[in-house]
Chains A and B, each alone.
Chain A
Amino acid sequence: MNQLDTNLAIEIAHLYKSFHANNKEIKVLKDINIKIPHGKVFGLLGPNGAGKTTALRIIAGILEPDKGEVFINGCNIKKNKADIQRKIGYLSTGTQSYPIFTGRENIKLFGSMYNISKEVINQRIKELNNVLAFDDILDKKCQEMSTGQKQKINIARTLIHDPEFIIFDEPSNGLDILTSKKLMDIIKEKKEQGKSIFYSTHILSEIELIADEIAIIYKGEILICADKTTLIQQTNTSNLSEAFLAIIEEHASKNEDPS
């Protein structure tokens, strides 16, 4: 943990987080360790309530962990939060755009927060339009848009500063097949450009399509972290969804066993 590996895009070491709810302490994350090299797509797979979003919030610098460290590009996020956040693009269900502003106003607003000049912002909007095709909704107020249209704006907003590290938390929620496909294309394109992508979802087919490495998180613990083929081989199954189920079942039975 003390030896910083700058070859790693994201490194998470011994992360703990717990919340108080209804007068009970809930341990959301228990000793999470992840290492992601540059230029890879890392998939975080887990059922609802497994701690995916909390982990991603900590990586994005929104939430402070109880214990443990997060290093992005070898820098501790605690110490250089603003500099690191400048390089991160973070998208989740919790990060919406302002409903009272138009799509273009939203994108420009967030662009200005990353200190990007107006010309560059306009240029990037044009580039993103080539992929996302949101020309018709750009000047519509976000509150008048459909879920899919909003998500297009959100994606554009997340990528406006051309981030080195992209964190997507269930980005395909509410998207139709066509837009989902476009999202996958964007991720592939970004990967080719050498960006690192952290992708969390509970939809197996998406992970299967794009992830170089997959981690399965369940009840705040990482059960396994490997590439797709290793996963399937280790569990003696034929596909990812079977492997996923097998791993979770195995973990559940282990916990039931008192020894």
Chain B
Amino acid sequence: MNWNNVLIIYKKEVLSFFKNKEALLVMLLVPLIIYPGIMLVTGDLVAGQLTKKSKAILNLDIVDVSDNDSIDKNLIGLQTFLQDRYKEELNVRKVTFSIKVQQTYKSKKTPSLKEKSEILLSFTKPSNPTAQSFGDINIYYDSRDDISSVAVNEIEIAIEDYNSTLLNDELIKRNISLDIINLFHIQDFHNIAPKGHTLVKYGSSLIAITLIFLVFVSCQYAATEVLPAEREQNTLETLLATPLEWKEIIVGKYFAIVSAGILNAFSNLTGIVLFGGSIIASIDQQSYGSDLLTFTPLKVFTLLLTLIPLALMCGSLALLLVSFAKTRMAASYYSLPGMLLVSIPAAISLLPNTELTGIWYSIPFANITLYFRNLFLGNITVFSTIIIFINIIGFSGILALCSIFVSHRKDQVLAGGANFSLFYRPKTEKGSLSLSEGTFIALISFILFTTIGMVLQTKMEPWSIALSFWGFLFVPSLLYMKFKRVNPMDFLKLYLPTATQIIGILISLIPILALAFIFQMIFNTMVPENTQSSEMMQNLILNFNNQYGIFICIFIFAITPGVTEEFIFRGVLFSSLKNKYSWILVILITGIIFAFIHGINRAIPILPVGIFLGWLRYRTQSIFSVIFFHICFNSIAVLQTIFSNEIQSKINGIAPNLEINDIKVLIPLVLFISLTGPLAYFCITKSQHKYFNQDEL
């Protein structure tokens, strides 16, 4: 790429942008008008809230309890249960549990927490307890601490779990049914953060959403001017006839769009800094402390720095959308789904208890909104900053590359004055989706999966997780293949592997699992915070196992991802990429996308698995072999989680002092890989099914 040419296009776009004075004025002035408005409204709400009397009185249900001792016993039981359950969290998350037994009845005094991260469970003993009585627990926490907010939800679940164990024990002991229903009952959550804090938090979310939305709209406007407008004015062909390459033209235009986004973001920032802190902070300076919505130089600097990835992301999405448009009018239609794609995930930050942890890191626009909100609240860490930067820049890069590709295709088609061939239905059956068709439908699937699918997954129900996979990774491509009359046999390689190959695949599980483990170990030592998300996954699996049994677990976590992910990665994407690129490149591309779609924190351990799956698909020429491997691989992980205690005790029996992260573990692992690896290779490559095409190697 000749950067001089990129610069010519960039300068041209910026110049024509500055010539459009009205648009420029709107872009710069709107933020300066909007923010005082938001601030005034939020400020008003906060002020109103502050004058209200606190209504949170500790109401206690008094019931007759005959057996006083059992309540005391259960209380100690609950304490041990919680402490056992959160033993690791106590170290990792710095959540301190102190369970106090309050004797005073109808206490109106709010207990004080020593630290923001502390969570206090206050239990009040009923004066005359009966067997059916509730032991009421009040939970005190501080929502200014993000982890506490999440931990409170977990405590709620834990107490329910404990209740069911108590219930079970009681039923067994008495050999009778339901005369005890609930032993502990969470009466209320008491957020002891200053009353206005929640509203300030929503205010920050609102500012973050407005910021992102306005930047996206500016980018969308700029993108419309740089691409569809050129098509409309018949000037794009003039550019195409020059020695400038297509990618140089698009990259130059992309940077111009990003500049427009940054310019608008900068104007936004001015609005926020000028009007943001002052109004809200003036209401109750003492309660919020000086760090809230006031702008220190470091905060402003971080904000300025973060505007770049924000503009990159909004710009790439806008460019991709307008790449499909022939006229300015069409571009405005295309911008609507873009606005939804931006604002729906962004609006998630308004939901209570949504924090920038786990899954939210990997959802574009949700992550950056949450990050901005935390930035305004002064709650960011270096880790979250790095992850956000990598995530956003990676995501924008992929979208920008897609735009180069899509707009080029579109122009080839437009130059002939024809319809977009992606929606052309052939008369006869054909063997394969073309490169553009395959990547198009895969991209649509990924976008649906990472937006709506991920939101569905947060419901943490088996049906929602299954639906997110089957509904977004599987069904759209299947329908599109039907529409394009693609022969699934040829395209997806629906051939059964031979028995020897199956044995080879089973053997290959050992070295690949070991390799993934080594990568995981390396990554964990590099980024210690990472353990959080894998624990979330483990808890989910254990929870499902308890609720629905092991088969549902295997179906949700092994079969579903095995079939759907392989269908899209080693099926649709692999076969269509193969139409143009070499095997090595296709294996690498699908492997890398496969790794990153699993979330940035799991990408590195999954990368060798993705590459191996690509190789397996290439060498066996069968999609069933990769599906089989994937299901086995995931099943092992699921079973390992479910039976982790048993496995751990077995390991302790054999080697009592072995730490799982010990470097000594590496030696047998490397030995395993070097022994089983060649054997698996031999089995997989030795035999071939009868449809195997030697020419494709």
A contact residues vs B (CB 8 Å cutoff): 17, 19-23, 26, 28, 54, 57, 60-64, 81-83, 85-86, 88, 90, 92-101, 109-110, 112-114, 157
Contacts and interface: CB of A to CB of B under 8 A. Distances in A.
A92 B235 CA distance: 11
B380 to A, nearest CB: 42
B54 interface: no
Interface stretch (B82-90, B189-197, B299-307, B416-424): B416-424
Interface stretch (B123-131, B240-248, B466-474, B660-668): B240-248
Interface string B15-29: 110011000000000
Given A21-B419, A26-B418, A100-B19, A62 B233 contact: no
Contacts of B240: 61-62
Given A86-B243, A100-B16, A19 B416 contact: yes
Interface string B395-424: 000000000000000001101111101001
B159 to A, nearest CB: 62
A94 B234 contact: yes
Contacts of B235: 95-98
Contacts of A93: 234
B280 to A, nearest CB: 42
Contacts of A100: 16, 19-20
17 contacts: A19-B417, A19-B418, A20-B419, A21-B417, A21-B419, A28-B416, A54-B415, A57-B237, A62-B240, A83-B243, A92-B237, A94-B415, A96-B234, A100-B19, A113-B8, A113-B244, A114-B242
A13 B238 CA distance: 25
Nearest 9 interchain pairs by C-beta: A19-B418, A95-B238, A90-B241, A19-B416, A20-B424, A94-B237, A82-B243, A96-B234, A21-B418
B16 A98 contact: yes
B225 to A, nearest CB: 9
B101 to A, nearest CB: 76
B106 interface: no
B243 A97 contact: no
A114 B239 CA distance: 11
Contacts of B243: 81-83, 85-86, 113-114
Contact of B241 (A20, A21, A61, A97): A61
A197 to B, nearest CB: 15
Interface residues of B, number: 29
Contact of B415 (A22, A63, A86, A113): A63
Contact of A17 (B12, B237, B241, B416): B416
A175 to B, nearest CB: 17
B5 interface: yes
B238 A96 contact: yes
Interface of B: 5, 8, 12, 15-16, 19-20, 233-235, 237-245, 412-413, 415-419, 421, 424-425
A149 B244 CA distance: 26
B247 to A, nearest CB: 12
A101 B415 contact: no
A112 B234 contact: no
Given A62-B241, A64-B412, A82-B243, A101 B16 contact: yes
Given A82-B245, A113-B244, A114-B242, A95 B419 contact: no
Given A20-B421, A95-B237, A99-B233, A85 B242 contact: yes
B238 A97 contact: yes
Contacts of A60: 241
Nearest to B422: A20
Contacts of A92: 237
A204 B424 CA distance: 38
Highest count of chain A CB atoms <10 Å: which of B20, B243, B417, B419:
B243
B5 to A, nearest CB: 7
Nearest to A94: B237
Nearest to A113: B242
Given A28-B416, A57-B415, A62 B242 contact: no
B327 to A, nearest CB: 14
B416 A54 contact: yes
A90 B241 CA distance: 7
B237 A62 contact: yes
A114 to B, nearest CB: 7
A100 B275 CA distance: 36
A21 B12 CA distance: 34
A85 B239 CA distance: 11
B409 to A, nearest CB: 11
A20 B237 contact: no
Given A63-B415, A98-B16, 19 more contacts: A17-B416, A19-B418, A20-B424, A57-B237, A60-B241, A61-B240, A62-B237, A62-B240, A93-B234, A94-B238, A95-B235, A95-B238, A96-B238, A97-B238, A101-B19, A109-B8, A109-B12, A110-B242, A113-B243
Contacts of B416: 17, 19, 28, 54, 63
A62 B415 contact: yes
A110 B12 CA distance: 10
Contact of B238 (A20, A86, A110): A110
A60 to B, nearest CB: 5
Highest count of chain A CB atoms <10 Å: which of B416, B421, B424:
B416
B334 to A, nearest CB: 21
A19 B418 CA distance: 6
B241 A88 contact: yes
Contacts of A109: 8, 12
A76 to B, nearest CB: 16
Contacts of A98: 12, 16, 233, 235
A152 B623 CA distance: 60
Contacts of B419: 20-23
